[in-house]
Structure 1
């Protein structure tokens, strides 16, 4: 059990300003800090929606994992199957055409996926890792559970509607099925991808590249992320991550950008313009609004200093110690990305460990630095969005000095004193009782 005490940060002033909408025209959106996972903004972020080719972030995650554990290698050759050949010839879809008798390295296929969102190349990577797309889809759903994603459903490796896969989609799913996740889960997937495999950005930042340059199969690939430098909707600092578009999902985008050493991740789902029409421009406009909000409105703020002592709980009573009290204070400071006008909106909660501290007392001997509880931050109006991985901002509370156990004689005398004090109180109460 833990004992909870609410104590105000010194100098803090209440503020009741509610979060204002950014007026995004989307079905779902979220903005997070890529380093800490702090959620800076969200709209309808828990509703499962179509994710289209943002699916490929999961395929990329599993590819990097397979490279890491040696299941595949960058130079490994993939032999084209009838499935990937037929899909690659469908020019309605984003693809690099694959030869029926051709072979392609994992690196070539990955670049086609990360830059050009090539669908047949995505299936080829899935087959290389798991043997078949259906087995790869099982890995996708298992990894989603492992990463703590919620309300997800993966039915193929690409994000296409299964009806686009010419009857060769994983047979356990319906022909009209499509991958779905809420914006919060999409952001969490992107967060883990960047945390664990940041090298993905070395490729997603490439605006243009020629597939198999110098061969008869050469095809120019322009990145579908039109916010990259040199492209039509360029935005300073952007270097990823994945677009997605289907009729079911609408125009979606998971973007990431960095400025002044701080990176954010934005997800927009089914973005439309002011006439309600989905478009590439609409999704990038919505992303730009989120990026600007994150970079301009937030800053890293120290909300509680190391060594902070609370006015109402500077010490704990000590049992069987040479000293009667021991001082306590925060071990480390608490810093967090906070909206610029909300740095005074947080209070602190001191939580004492009741296994160690009972009725406000702790038993000697006590070492300096003994952890007796922790302090966490709480936003006064309750509108803090928290962290993408569910963590809580807190810091340990420790003793700031050592208290040795009292000697045998002191403990004995103390016990005798307590006995006579108790006896005196009892006898006094008895005598008083005679005259009542």
Structure 2
């Protein structure tokens, strides 16, 4: 597994400066009742991540020998960002609220994936498959058959199966509960352009997201090991229907499913993109084609989101994404960022707690903040990171000193950002 790590030392003075200069988040406009996007972006959009990201049109700050933004990118909205630093290298209508299609499944996975062990088995009831939209993409789940959670997530990520989403939602307390949790998680991530109506991304009135939000969501999901592995899997075996063979014995076979992300699996008119490692594609009548991808080159990890290209050529959304990846890798370090991918709300709260530990930390028996000893050799907890078991860690900056877990004093916070990519970029199971 290739691991990219960067540490940022942020002084309290810097934090104070950031607090004074942080962009104001505009109230998101109400979703269109019809769900149909307008022909032009609104004049006023959210400024989460920076004032320039709220302006319509292409935002880029070229310097020196930086390459120009590629021609022929026709998407209504797109963004190129450094996955580790969070720097937005360039964007076009980044906060335009548009229908997301199945890219919204990234938020579904980031919300629900931590809840069930892979080995959990579930027998599908007829009620689990109710309410699936006509013409939905399906992986082929059958009533009264038993599937593991692992099978279901393969169905979500590879085949974009709305049937798999509905079964997992049923396990999670139902569609309404899952939608509520997804909206709550989007708010935690500061993905404030996003409003979920259907957990699978199927077109619904008022269901919207933005290139900026989808990139935030992907960045959060990619901190989960299982999320990384599922979104980078090219093909897998999926359980079939139990049937009687010629001898009258009931047997259950399997069939192969392929990932519909064409930068990962390739197609007759597009090759696998070098260094690609996920994430998720989508396509509906209302949303058009949408895609968020992550790729690594020479130790740099970029995220690109493209929404609804005007050009209707086959695989156009992937071709435009590839152009933006190529530009991003060539331009990185040569452009001035036009914004940033903000951290989840909890990070801000942790920063305040760290700046005044006595106000928020309850001393334990040892008298140290945190109330207990850590194991020798433990590494700093990544601010905003998700633990390997998928549970959300505390959004706080921690350090290990003398084998004891303590909050750093008001002087500085150590933020250790980890962005490991799957050991096999194109996985087959």
TM interval, shorter chain, is 0.5 to 0.7
- The 3-state SS of whatever aligns with 1:49 is coil
Whole-Å Cα distance in 1 between the matches of residues 136 and 84 of structure 2?
Answer: 34
Counterpart pick for 1:266 among 301, 304, 326: 304
Q: Which runs of 4+ in 1 moved over 6 A?
A: 1-4, 14-19, 87-90
RMSD: 2.9
Aligned match of 2:145: 102
Aligned match of 1:29: 78
Is residue 73 from structure 1 mapped to residue 111 from structure 2 by the alignment? no
**1:31, 1:290 within 8 Å by CA — same for their partners in 2?**
yes
**1:160, 1:178 within 8 Å by CA — same for their partners in 2?**
no
Is residue 117 from structure 1 mapped to residue 136 from structure 2 by the alignment? no
Report the count of equivalent residues: 275
Whole-Å Cα distance in 2 between the matches of residues 260 and 254 of structure 1?
Answer: 20
Counterpart pick for 1:149 among 169, 177, 191: 191
Whole-Å Cα distance in 1 between the matches of residues 261 and 191 of structure 2?
Answer: 24
Aligned match of 2:232: 205
Is residue 241 from structure 1 mapped to residue 279 from structure 2 by the alignment? yes
Is residue 137 from structure 1 mapped to residue 183 from structure 2 by the alignment? no
Whole-Å Cα distance in 1 between the matches of residues 63 and 143 of structure 2?
Answer: 65
Aligned match of 1:306: none
- The 3-state SS of whatever aligns with 1:220 is strand
**1:266, 1:291 within 8 Å by CA — same for their partners in 2?**
yes
TM-score, structure 2 length as denominator?
Answer: 0.59
Whole-Å Cα distance in 1 between the matches of residues 266 and 95 of structure 2?
Answer: 34
**1:212, 1:219 within 8 Å by CA — same for their partners in 2?**
yes
After superposition, the C-alpha distances for 1:346-401 in whole angstroms (9 at most, x for unaligned) are: xxxxxxxxxxxxxxxxxxxxxxxxxxxxxxxxx6xxxx41211179xxxxxxxxxx
**1:48, 1:182 within 8 Å by CA — same for their partners in 2?**
yes
After superposition, the C-alpha distances for 1:223-268 in whole angstroms (9 at most, x for unaligned) are: 1101115544211111200001111110010111111221111000
Whole-Å Cα distance in 2 between the matches of residues 225 and 83 of structure 1?
Answer: 30
- The 3-state SS of whatever aligns with 1:27 is strand
Whole-Å Cα distance in 2 between the matches of residues 228 and 148 of structure 1?
Answer: 28
Q: Which has the higher contact order (CA 8 A, sep 6+)?
A: 2
**1:229, 1:236 within 8 Å by CA — same for their partners in 2?**
no
**2:264, 2:276 within 8 Å by CA — same for their partners in 1?**
yes
TM-score, structure 1 length as denominator?
Answer: 0.58
5+ long unaligned stretches in structure 2: 1-12, 19-61, 242-250, 345-429
Question: Offset at 1:192?
Answer: 1.2
Counterpart pick for 2:93 among 44, 66, 69: 44
After superposition, the C-alpha distances for 1:70-125 in whole angstroms (9 at most, x for unaligned) are: xx2222222323244456796x4321222221221111100111111111101111
Aligned match of 2:416: none
